[in-house]
Amino acid sequence: RTDDITMILAFIDGVADTADEQSGEAIDRMQGRRKSSRRESRRGSADSIFLGLDVVRAGGENRPVRRGLSKEKRQAMTVAETVTNEEDEVEYTPVVVPKSQNERDRIRSAVKANFLFQHLNDQQQQLVFDVMKRVLVKAGEVVIKQGDAGDLFYVVESGEYSVLIAQGGKGEVEVMQYSTAGGTNPCFGELALMYSKPRAATVKALSDGQLWAMDRSAFRHILMKSSSTSLVKTLRSVEILKTLSVGQLQRLSDVLTEVTYKSGDYVIQQGEFTETFYIIMEGKATVTKRDDPDSAAEPEAQVMQLSAGQYFGERALIEQAPRAANVKADGRLKCLHISKDAFEEVLGPLQAIIDEDRKWREKVAKTKQLVQEAEGLANVTTTDFEPQAVPVATDYGRLVIAQNKNSQSVYTLKGASKSKVVQLGQQSRLMSEKALFASLVNHHAYVPLALGNFVDEACLYTVFKVRIVMELSALLEALSSIDESTANFYAANVLLAVQHLHNEGICYRNLAPDNLFVDRDGFVQLMDFRFAVKLDGAQARDYCGLATYLAPEQVAGTGHSLPVDYWALGILIYEMLTGTAPWLTGDPIRDSELNIYSRITAFKGELDFPKEFSADLQELLLELLAPNPTRRIGTRGAGAEEVQRHQWFSTLNMEDMHAGGNAMRAPYHALRKVEEVAKTLNTSEAAAAAAEAFSEPPYSGDSSWFDGFVSFTSKTS
């Protein structure tokens, strides 16, 4: 550590050297009544090592040595990786790099303790070892450079390597070296297998050597790719199946039947009436046709050739019509097929599904339109609003309190800068957020409805009928410390909001305090849906969210779903009461993303809690932070209601909580802070500052990515 540490010693006259038992009990009782400080706790790390906060108390003031992450650090540790469509669509074919048994053993030994490899099964491990590439390096060669985006993980086979970190204008400083001198094979670059972030250091070869390299794309394919997922992607590419959810496509893939044809066999013949849809799994097929299907003398003209992953005969699932062409096996051909009758037995008539989907989307659009017209928001632009204040600035834009000049109603406008969205690479996430907002039509006390969207030359705006005052993180900071009853109230806000979204099939994945907003009544509002995903029965596999909030299954990268929100709720409750996450030590070096992920994956479900935590709270946190998602409260057998019925929430009337501000008030001290901040937003100074909200420089880049942003449809363009 290079920072200065000041120690304050308080000498108190008249206190005996050894406290008697009675006074010790009195101190314990006094401390037991004291509120849990957000900046003061004693608790264990993921491996149950008792870390604790060393606090010097002088004049009754708590002065902690360790603090939680700063807002800047939390933003830096927020992952927003998107699995690209191109990566999804490319069929992965592993390329085996020959290795001796000794080389394979050294690689296995090097990665066996690494959290990213511990959950791999034997087959996956073998495939990972197979595809790792041999990289020969020369002395002086830079392997990775600080600041560059990385997608390779390395195991040192031989040679010596220097790890350098740039120190501003002082040049590079060596912080450590990698070598095999100690009989081990070190590795580096693990985060590159999870997501793309700038490299934290430069690694330069000090001698000639050899590395084994694993790229992120191959690692992800080995983790996630299977014949099932590839088949679902093929089904999704079929035009008439695009209205099916992922869950429906998975059920469809389960009932497809395998059939094999010899070379020259006809799969379907022109003019015949059959009702079967086919997907080619192996081999090739030739498509031919005659101008006159009834003329046997006319030669068949070749139209096209089909290969593995392609399909034919899809119209038979909707209509009865003669086949328009022949499909003939060109060599041995293996297909999966399903008849119209079998399809309808599993999912019902396809045309009915298509019609129902269209009707649902039209209903959502009509409902949104009626609400928008009732609010006087049809076809609004920035000129229709008078900005009053900017309560929250985000990494990609701002929340603006604005009054509609015609109706005089006040709204919160969620503005996203087009330039910043592109700079952050969040175009697809923003459009996904818009689609999710559009799909929600039922009001909820803690999930405000998006009433509409509009754009100007610089920004994309979403309109909400709610007045946001601050972030939850700002409220917690202003309160300095909160008791369990206050944490209980805000945890219930979030719990009910998350369960509302889960009922809509939406996994939120964004429960960090910086991304939860507080309205003027002191209630939490969930309005940042950039990381949310509609699951439709399938698991998500992208990395997103604040590192300290990721559940073990998210870190492992093998797929996750609704249970991750209950895990994040547990972390949120812990952080509200202690000001930090269970995985943080307070040492910036030890609290790297890599170390945090290692502690999360090593967590076995045991924590040493601050002594101020009630027994009910400790029990709930252990239930929420169950490492196995199938055993996590909220998603196991008893379902979501089990969380609401937990003893820790017994002091709350959940019916009143569901009603929100119409039936109850926020905790007194929290509401006072919110009202104080709200007053600062209702001043001429705030209005003057807000006047700049609509004056951002115009965006001049590609505009195709936000096509359809102002429409009512719930499907992204």
Read off the pLDDT of residues 271-283 as tens digits, 9 standing for 90 and up.
998 889 999 988 9
In angstroms, the CA 709 to CA 714 distance is 10
- Please provide the CATH number assigned to the domain covering 470-681: 1.10.510.10
Strand stretches in 89-239, DSSP E = 133-137, 142-144, 152-158, 160-166, 172-179, 187-188, 202-205, 209-215
Report residue 356 as tokens: 């129902």
CATH architecture of 227-348: Sandwich (2.60)
Q: Which CATH class is domain 360-466+695-706?
A: alpha beta
Tell me: pLDDT of 97 over 80: yes
Confidence of residue 64 (pLDDT cuts 50, 70, 90): very low
Cβ–Cβ contacts within 10 Å for residue 263, how many?
A: 12
Tell me: pLDDT of 519 over 60: yes
**Per 3-state DSSP, what percentage of the chain is helix, strand, and coil (rounded to 5)?**
35, 25, 40
In angstroms, the CA 452 to CA 132 distance is 49
pLDDT at 75: 74
The more confident residue out of 462 and 346 is 462
Listed by start position, the domains of the chain span: 93-216, 227-348, 360-466+695-706, 470-681
The more confident residue out of 430 and 54 is 430
In angstroms, the CA 78 to CA 468 distance is 23
Lowest mean pLDDT among 147-161, 347-361, 520-534, 680-694: 347-361
| Length of the chain measured in residues | 717
Lowest mean pLDDT among 78-82, 475-479, 515-519, 674-678: 78-82
On whether the CB atoms of residues 328 and 266 are closer than 8 A, the answer is yes
322 to 270, 271, 274, 316, 471: CA distances (angstroms): 7, 5, 8, 9, 62
* Selection from 525, 519, 478 nearest residue 669 by Cα: 478
Q: How many Cα neighbours within 13 Å face the side chain of 157? A: 20
On whether the CB atoms of residues 413 and 455 are closer than 8 A, the answer is no
When pLDDT is averaged across residues 165-186 and rounded to a whole number, the result is 86
pLDDT at 81: 65
Confidence of residue 83 (pLDDT cuts 50, 70, 90): very low
pLDDT at 373: 63
| CA 633 to the chain's CA centroid | 20
Q: Mind listing the pLDDT tens digit for each residue in 609-634?
A: 999 999 999 999 999 999 999 899 99
pLDDT at 33: 35
* Selection from 244, 298, 290 nearest residue 269 by Cα: 290
Tell me: pLDDT of 374 over 70: no
Lowest mean pLDDT among 316-330, 485-499, 612-626: 316-330
pLDDT at 38: 39
pLDDT at 47: 32
Q: What single DSSP character describes residue 277?
A: E
Report residue 261 as tokens: 């044809």
The more confident residue out of 586 and 528 is 528
Q: How many Cα neighbours within 13 Å face the side chain of 243? A: 15
When pLDDT is averaged across residues 18-37 and rounded to a whole number, the result is 40
Domains 93-216 and 227-348 share a fold: yes
When pLDDT is averaged across residues 442-457 and rounded to a whole number, the result is 91
Compute the C-alpha angle 550/121/188, nearest 5°.
Answer: 60
Lowest mean pLDDT among 107-121, 133-147, 311-325, 354-368: 354-368
Q: Three-state DSSP class for 688? A: helix
Q: Which CATH class is domain 93-216?
A: mainly beta
